[in-house]
């Protein structure tokens, strides 16, 4: 009520405080929305930056950037072929094994694949393999 607000204001002033109207500028900035963060990663990727460079520039870990790339491939914003330079010859040779593990587990959940394959492949490698298997093979 107006009366209560006036009493609160009088008390603050009597206690030596000041009154300040909160404006939009005083509000904490909202964390970036998901759409913006993917667009930012996409822009840096298209500018020729590496995953390591993008992660450093954005203050994120590389696995987050790999997640963004996977999302962008799924949304047809990035061609899967533009990721091939990230795939080591060892990972290329392991693709059939990883694909068969995915089929055997009936899932492509990274943690389950990681365990099933004995932790031999990093989560980033498994994510790359999953993208290749989903969108190319």
- The whole-angstrom separation of Cα 38 and Cα 15 is 49
- The whole-angstrom separation of Cα 135 and Cα 137 is 6
Average pLDDT, the chain: 86
- The whole-angstrom separation of Cα 81 and Cα 75 is 14
- The whole-angstrom separation of Cα 110 and Cα 131 is 11
Percent over 70 (pLDDT), the chain = 88
For the segment 87-105, the average pLDDT, to the nearest whole number, is 94
pLDDT digits (tens, 9 = 90+) for 40-70: 999 999 999 999 999 999 999 999 999 999 9
Residue 59: the pLDDT is 94
Does residue 89 surpass a pLDDT of 80? yes
For the segment 91-95, the average pLDDT, to the nearest whole number, is 94
What are the residue ranges of helices labelled H in the chain?
2-14, 34-46, 51-58, 62-74, 89-105, 110-116, 123-135
* Cβ-contact 52, 62 below 8 angstroms: yes
With a threshold of 0.85, does the pTM exceed it?
A: no
Residue 35: the pLDDT is 62
């Amino acid at each position: 009520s107006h009366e209560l607000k006036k009493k609160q204001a009088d008390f603050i002033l009597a206690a030596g405080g000041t009154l300040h109207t909160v404006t939009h500028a005083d509000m904490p900035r909202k964390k970036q929305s998901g759409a913006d963060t993917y667009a930012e990663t996409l822009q840096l990727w298209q500018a020729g930056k590496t995953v390591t460079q993008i992660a450093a520039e954005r203050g994120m870990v590389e696995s987050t950037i790999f997640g963004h790339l996977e999302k962008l491939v799924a949304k047809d914003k990035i061609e899967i072929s533009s990721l091939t330079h990230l795939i080591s010859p060892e990972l290329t040779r392991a693709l059939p094994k990883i694909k068969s593990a995915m089929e055997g587990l009936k899932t492509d959940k990274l943690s389950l694949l990681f365990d099933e394959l004995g932790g031999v492949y990093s989560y980033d490698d498994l994510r790359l393999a999953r993208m290749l298997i989903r969108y190319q093979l």
